Structure formats: C-alpha cells, structure tokens
Amino acid sequence: MRLHYYKLQNPPFVRQVLSGNGCARDILETHLLPNVICSGVVQSKARTLNQRGKHVVFSRDEEDVLTVEDVEVTVRDVMGTNGVLHVVEEVLVPESARSVDDALKV
C-alpha cells in the first residue's frame, strides 16, 4: 500500500495525521529523519534516528533491494528543497500506534 493511494481512499486518516493528534503524529514522525540518507550510502545496513528519536534501519540485499525496517523502498532519492524523499511500500507503524491485538501478536 502506497501512502498516496491510502490518502485518496482514506481522507479521515489524512486529516488525523495532519492535525498532529495522538498516535497519528507518531506515525508521521516515524517517517521523518532529521538528516539526509541517500540510498547510495547504504552498503548493507545503515542506522539513523527518526524524528521521534527511535532507531531506523535501512538495509540493502544482494539483489540491490533497499528496505527500511523490512519494508521495501520503491522509489529512491527524490531530491527536495529540504531533503531527500524515499517512497516505501507500506506505512511504518510505530509500537505506540499499534492496536492491542497487533501488540499481543508480537
């Protein structure tokens, strides 16, 4: 699921994320890094902190597949005016935003 597709299909979710309330803010900040990580610097693994102060691990396998927290990066290194954008296949959901059922499955 790509975020732009989810956004089109779920306007209440987008409004909640943009409002910055509750776990929606945690989800957004999980995707933001205070530093620039270009895909070329990731040889096998690279670790950095996200905006929440939690570690995020980028990995590259033998077939050149780049992942972040085991989620595939489908578009790499889109240059912006204030950083670099990577598109991931799924929304990264921090533990603080998981349901009780999901937390118990771990």
Looking at domain 3-105, its CATH superfamily turns out to be FAS1 domain (2.30.180.10)
How sure is the predictor about 6, in pLDDT bands with cuts at 50, 70 and 90?
Answer: very low
Contact 78, 84 (CB under 8 A): yes
**Band (50; pLDDT cuts 50, 70, 90):** very high
Q: pLDDT tens-digit profile of 94-103?
A: 887 776 556 5
Using CA atoms, how far residue 102 sits from 19, 23, 96, 98, 105, in Å, is: 24, 15, 11, 6, 5
